[in-house]
Amino acid sequence: MIKTALDDLNLPPIAKLLGWRVLDARPAEGWLKLGFEGKADFCNPAGFIQGGILSSMLDDTMGPAVFVMTGGKSYTTTVSLTVNFLAPARPGPIIGEAKVTQLGKTIAFVEGKLTAEDGTLLANATAVERLLDAAKAIG
């Protein structure tokens, strides 16, 4: 797999909780593929993963796609996130993919999706991300 700016980051607690891991990346294209672990602890009474958790997975895929595309120069803060839930998500592996559709000087537009291990499309999303200078954000 190709080296990305994510390789040198310490995972934050939320990423660890979600089972976040990089599966593939094409930084020049602003494309990122991640793996998550849909835990039984994330389920609602019907046995499906709660929508807020799926939204977190999408958010934690789309922001890092921008980070990878900028070579680690830009963190993001989400301005807006629109999620469509297309199928119930059961516990197990979940794949997140994101693509930066437009990268400006202060704003990025990103599309994302989550799929189950069998390829079922669980959710898709669009986001507007405000760009933050990574050097200033962590300083």
Domain that holds residue 91: 12-137
3 inside domain: no
1 inside domain: no
pLDDT score recorded for residue 139:
60
pLDDT score recorded for residue 71:
95
| Nearest in space to 30 (alpha carbons), one of 3, 53, 63, 55 | 63
Mean pLDDT of 16-44: 97
What are the strands of the beta sheet with 74-85, ordered from one edge? 21-26, 31-38, 92-103, 107-116, 121-133, 74-85
pLDDT score recorded for residue 8:
84
Neighbours of 107 (CB within 10 A): 14
64 inside domain: yes
7 inside domain: no
Residue 125 phi, psi dihedral angles, 5° rounding:
-155, 160
Global pTM reads: 0.95
The domain that holds 109 is classified in CATH as 3.10.129.10
124 inside domain: yes
Total domains present in the chain: 1
